[in-house]
A = this chain, B = another copy of it.
Amino acid sequence: MTATFNRRDLDFLLYEFLDLEGLLAQPRYAKHDRAVVDAVLDTAEKIAVEQFQACAAELDANEPVFDGRGVSIIPQVKTALDAYSQAGFPAASFDYEAGGLQLPCVVAQAAGAMFYGANISIAAYPLLTTGVANLLCAYGSPEQKALFLPPLLDGRFFGTMCLSEPQAGSSLADIRTKATPAGAGHYLISGTKMWISGGEHELCENIVHMVLAKIPGGPAGVKGISLFIVPKLRVGPDGAIGGPNNIALAGLNHKMGYRGTVNTLLNFGESGECHGTLVGERHKGLQTMFHMMNEARIAVGMGAASAGCAGYLYALEYAKGRPQGRRMRDKDPASPPVPIIEHADIKRLLLTQKSYVEGALALLLYCARLVDEQKTAGDPARRREIALLLDILTPIAKSWPSEFCLEANKHAIQVLGGYGYARDYPVERLYRDNRLNPIHEGTHGIHGLDLLGRKVRIAEGACFTALCRLIRADIDAAASIESLHEYASDLAAAVGELEVTTRVLIGCGDLERSLANATIYLDMVGHIVIAWMWLKQAHCASRHLASSPDQEPEFYRGKLKACRYFFVYELPRARAQMSLLQKLDDTCLTMAAGQF
């Protein structure tokens, strides 16, 4: 089997790019050192390859089935998830006091990348479960924590997020699910939730749904939404699992990809009482849920990057092993064909993929490293700065990989040609899987609005300012290296132009017009951020080549080439987009429905 993740690159990102050992030196991580981290990653690698990747094609061809009573899923899925849980991964990044292993988030995300790349359809179950556990850690009552955290962290319970309803996808203001107070913090939940991943299965003992609902009499719109914990099977005060909580599976959704993750339409309280308890404050459910969604969004970005990476590595191996055609200067048709990796256009397809997936992975691990630093930084100002950075980077870390690592998968198919389009090869499956990512956990358009409509404006632009300052500091550091000077200067120019563009957009008195091209703004900022990630990687690589020129020089030269590719071929796209954005063009906005 071809590897679906690049352990060498993960090691580079963790130890050289992100100085994981510096982080491990913090008291919070005193029990962990590099040997521990490597052992964790070795275990993840083994389970990812042997349990997750091994059944990826079979699971795609045999999606979960609902026979009117229960959901059946091929048995390898439960086996894989049991191995994952037994190895302790559900608890990896949780605090000791919550029953976790207190590993850095960046290590958990690196392990996650292995599972996601190997088989995102299986990995989605613990991905959601970790989000629910995180949310309970932050907002759960002591009783809720005591009841639900232990089984979530040892893999006996899995979690879901129940936001969307059939009539309200992105528009949560319009949800209709009701939570009627039933005394003592208990509520009766009734309503229908759509697109619920992991909503019904028998992979574990119980399912914990985090449900957005409205308490009657509350404010209209998003200000009247509350969050509830609603288990599939009732849980007694002693933690014992009781009878069904009246959550009925109304049907499964059949998707283009991501087929192994059961996706459901659920009716709450249709045929009897469905009990839930409030999490956090009444009517503050959306803010509470965002705690979970922000984590889930970074994980979605990591899923997209990992699918991109898996496709890239497969295409790379294929291109090295497939002889076809000759170099242009070779005019002798009787000469043996060369591997297709010798053809310039195949190199271009591969280098594009490398720059996208390794750039995206760098950003996602960088964000995870910020999460860890937020927990360890002593200086409150530094903690606040990190919070600002995570606020502005989250929509980018979710969205850029979702868009461009899907593009990487498209290129992987192209490298394989007809074989890439055939279901016998994994690249078309990765492409289908990845197409979900710009849709779920907030659509691409929603994240554009979040970035330009909210994140760059909050706290008088403090998030945006913090980001620009940080990028400039890295530019200055990199500019000290002669060979990086050109990139540093290109990026500095782009950041300057970004500031101008952002000022123009924020300064526009017409909010609707200023946000009309928010998605283009999102893609553009993403390109600048990824260019920054490449400059930082190139900086690491240059230092290595200067100090240890004989140690794996080709790996580090590859990083420099990918950086060059990104700056020469990709960054100019952002320049063109900024020029468009500064015009406050309203062509799309003013298009009338009857003109289409």
Contact = CB atoms under 8 A, between A and B. Distances in A.
Interface of A: 164, 167-171, 173-174, 194-195, 220-223, 253-257, 316, 320, 323-329, 332-334, 337, 339, 341-351, 354, 410, 413-414, 417-418, 420-424, 428, 431-432, 435-436, 438-440, 443-445, 448-449, 511-512, 515-519, 554-555, 557-558, 561, 564-565, 568-569, 572-573, 575-576, 579-580, 583, 585, 587-596
A334 to B, nearest CB: 5
Given A439-B417, A519-B345, A424 B593 contact: no
A569 B587 contact: yes
A588 B347 contact: yes
A572 B576 contact: yes
A457 to B, nearest CB: 14
Given A519-B345, A569-B587, A587-B564, A596 B350 contact: yes
Contacts of A351: 587-588, 591, 596
A585 B572 contact: no
A555 to B, nearest CB: 8
B431 A414 contact: no
B328 A511 contact: yes
Contact of A439 (B344, B420, B588): B420
Contacts of A326: 171, 173
A346 B420 CA distance: 31
Contacts of A576: 572-573, 575-576
A558 B591 CA distance: 8
Nearest to A331: B221
Given A324-B169, A588-B565, A596-B316, A221 B333 contact: yes
Nearest to A173: B333
A525 B349 CA distance: 19
A547 B569 CA distance: 46
10 contacts: A173-B333, A221-B334, A222-B333, A329-B511, A345-B519, A348-B588, A414-B445, A431-B435, A568-B580, A572-B576
B354 A596 contact: yes
Contacts of A332: 220
A572 B580 contact: yes
B580 A569 contact: yes
Given A558-B596, A576-B573, A593-B320, A422 B515 contact: no
A595 B324 contact: no
Given A443-B417, A575-B576, A587-B569, A171 B337 contact: yes
A517 B348 contact: yes
Contacts of A515: 328, 344
A412 to B, nearest CB: 12
Contacts of A435: 410, 413, 421, 428, 431
Given A421-B255, A576-B575, A341 B593 contact: yes
Given A512-B328, A592-B554, A436 B414 contact: no
List of 7 A-B pairs having minimum Cβ-Cβ separation, nearest first: A221-B333, A558-B595, A345-B445, A348-B588, A344-B516, A256-B428, A171-B325
A8 to B, nearest CB: 11
Contacts of A516: 344-345, 348
Contacts of A337: 171, 174
A169 B439 CA distance: 35
Contacts of A167: 323-324
A212 B262 CA distance: 47
Nearest to A259: B423
Given A174-B324, A511-B328, A169 B417 contact: yes
Given A413-B435, A569-B580, A344 B588 contact: yes
Nearest to A61: B254
A338 to B, nearest CB: 10
A194 B418 contact: yes
A443 B424 contact: no
B170 A325 contact: yes
Contacts of A323: 167
A81 B73 CA distance: 39
Contacts of A220: 332-334
A466 to B, nearest CB: 27
Contacts of A518: 344-345
A284 to B, nearest CB: 16
A316 to B, nearest CB: 5
Contacts of A436: 421
A572 B578 CA distance: 11
B593 A417 contact: no
Contacts of A422: 253-256
Given A587-B565, A592-B554, A593-B320, A418 B431 contact: no
